[in-house]
């Protein structure tokens, strides 16, 4: 049964407002490291990290890889949250910003101590030797926000954060909306095997959906230890431990071709644990346990 509440009379004239709108997810990019398009890699796609969460007219994008280039800005407030600043997570930014013609835009990350550091990190990618145009030139009115450890409330969204194990640092996010009963936990890029795992399991406890860095396979992980990524089998173990309600495995290494993806899918035995692929839409995330 829908949960409803009434806003104060001064605001609403007794209008009843629903608070259980669906929280939907769209994966714009699920490939790791660099965009990768080959006939052998059709199943998962080749765009790099970007996930869109929507609740009613509000939308927030997590990471800004090449997947973000294909997304449409809204006419309202778009929020882009970055886990970190490696190229595969920021390559889509200038193209999305260039399409944003109206409404507000916020670029936020917890992987910086303040706004100045956020600007410094972005400006080390854009506006210099590697890319001539700064983001400030493309989008002069964009808001730059360093997310505090206590989290960020913005445009109806509640963004909580927990540190990841990734070279140079990275931030995981648990994101919910005031009008939904579900939350999405995004944990990419992250390497398992430190004390952070236990903190992240508590952070993700009972979430409607966990999105996990599944770059590798347990069988070929050893040479990549220290690179800051995890495996799809670790994702399953984390899913069980955190008691999340569903698991999307993303950030696929370029070596994961269609045959490798099919082999993994044979071993994913429930519909709530799956490989994410580019353009995958989940119309409604399951409600959190004990919201």
Interface with Zn ion (CB under 5 A): 88, 189
What gap in Å lies between CA 3 and CA 21, rounded to an integer? 10
Q: Closest CB to Zn ion among 95 and 227?
A: 227
Task: Give least dist CB 65 to Zn ion, A.
Answer: 7
Tokens encoding 165: 């194990």
- 3-state secondary structure (DSSP) of residue 213: strand
Task: Give least dist CB 284 to Zn ion, A.
Answer: 27
Task: Give least dist CB 30 to Zn ion, A.
Answer: 11
Distances (CA, A) of 79 to 104, 176, 223: 8, 13, 36
Q: Report the residue number whose CB is nearest to Zn ion.
A: 88
- 103, 73 Cβ separation under 8 angstroms: yes
Beta bridge partners of 107: 80, 144
Candidates 203, 198, 193, 278; CA nearest to 229 is 193
Q: Closest CB to Zn ion among 189 and 234?
A: 189
Q: Closest CB to Zn ion among 187 and 244?
A: 187
Q: What is the CA radius of gyration of the chain?
A: 19
Q: What sign results for the dihedral spanned by CA atoms 74, 26, 256, 81?
A: positive
Q: Closest CB to Zn ion among 21 and 107?
A: 107
Task: Give least dist CB 90 to Zn ion, A.
Answer: 10
Q: Closest CB to Zn ion among 159 and 164?
A: 164
Place of tokens 């890889």: 65
Q: Closest CB to Zn ion among 34 and 120?
A: 34
Task: Give least dist CB 80 to Zn ion, A.
Answer: 16
Return phi, psi of residue 235, to 5°: -60, -45
* 273-275 vs 247-250, strand pairing mode: parallel
What gap in Å lies between CA 282 and CA 291, rounded to an integer? 20
Beta bridge partners of 24: 54
Place of tokens 């409404």: 103
Task: Give least dist CB 3 to Zn ion, A.
Answer: 37
Task: Give least dist CB 189 to Zn ion, A.
Answer: 4
- 222, 5 Cβ separation under 8 angstroms: no
Q: Closest CB to Zn ion among 67 and 156?
A: 67
């Amino acid at each position: 049964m829908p949960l409803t509440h009434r806003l104060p009379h001064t605001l609403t004239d007794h209008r009843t407002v629903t608070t259980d709108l669906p929280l939907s997810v769209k994966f714009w990019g699920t490939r790791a490291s660099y965009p990768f398009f080959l006939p052998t890699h059709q199943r998962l796609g080749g765009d790099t990290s970007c996930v869109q969460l929507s609740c009613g007219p509000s939308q927030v994008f997590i990471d800004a890889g090449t997947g973000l280039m294909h997304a449409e800005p809204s006419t309202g407030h778009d929020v882009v949250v970055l886990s970190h600043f490696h190229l595969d997570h920021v390559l889509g930014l200038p193209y999305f910003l260039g399409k944003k013609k109206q409404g507000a835009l916020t670029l936020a990350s917890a992987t910086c101590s303040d706004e100045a550091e956020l600007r410094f990190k972005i400006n080390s990618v854009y506006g210099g030797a590697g890319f001539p145009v700064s983001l400030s030139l493309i989008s002069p009115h964009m808001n730059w926000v360093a997310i505090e450890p206590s989290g960020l409330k913005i445009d109806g969204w509640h963004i909580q954060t927990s540190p990841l194990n990734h070279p140079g640092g990275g931030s995981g996010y648990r994101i919910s909306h005031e009008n939904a009963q579900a939350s999405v936990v995004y944990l990419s890029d992250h390497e398992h095997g430190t004390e952070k795992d236990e903190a992240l399991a508590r952070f993700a406890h009972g979430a409607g959906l966990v999105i996990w860095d599944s770059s590798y396979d347990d069988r070929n992980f050893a040479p990549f230890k220290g690179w800051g990524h995890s495996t799809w089998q670790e994702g399953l173990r984390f899913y069980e431990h955190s008691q999340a309600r569903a698991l999307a495995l993303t950030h696929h290494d370029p070596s994961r071709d269609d045959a490798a993806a099919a082999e993994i899918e044979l071993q994913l035995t429930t519909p709530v644990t799956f490989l994410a692929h580019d353009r995958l839409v989940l119309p409604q995330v399951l409600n959190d346990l004990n919201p």
